[in-house]
Amino acid sequence: MAFQTDIQQFLTATLGIRVYPSTIPEQEHNDAALYNISGGSRSSDSELCRSNIRLRRVRVIIVSKSALNNITYGDALYTALEGYGGAMGGTTVLYCRVDNEVDLTNNTQKTYEKTMDLSFKIQE
């Protein structure tokens, strides 16, 4: 649970917008982001198998009314997390990697979406 709290606080501080776990409420009309955490398996590295090293995957979806804002948010998150290692609240991040980025335009809702898949190696 600590990682979930730490990632939400980190994303909020980095992006400067509201960040929600799983879904953005329908009543949210400002730029916002959501995240989903998966994984938690022990590292497959034989030396690390017996330690508290975990691999976690986080998908972040940023929803914005402006294409420029979406680019700005994505750049800020990439800059903050690609290759990151250090403290993130109470979580020790050994490294973070941005695995994938996808940009979409939702013409029906007139929004821009950026999906970023992140991999974390953390010590619990």
Contact 20, 31 (CB under 8 A): no
The model's pLDDT over 94-118, given as tens digits with 9 standing for 90+, comes to 999 999 999 999 888 899 999 999 9
The CATH number given to whatever domain includes residue 39 is 3.30.2000.30
Residue whose tokens read 């009543």: 27
Domain hosting 14: range is: 2-123
Predicted TM-score (pTM) of this structure: 0.88
pLDDT score for 92: 93
The domain total for the chain is 1
| Helical segments of 1-124, H only | 2-15, 67-81
> How far apart are alpha carbons 115 and 60 in whole angstroms?
6
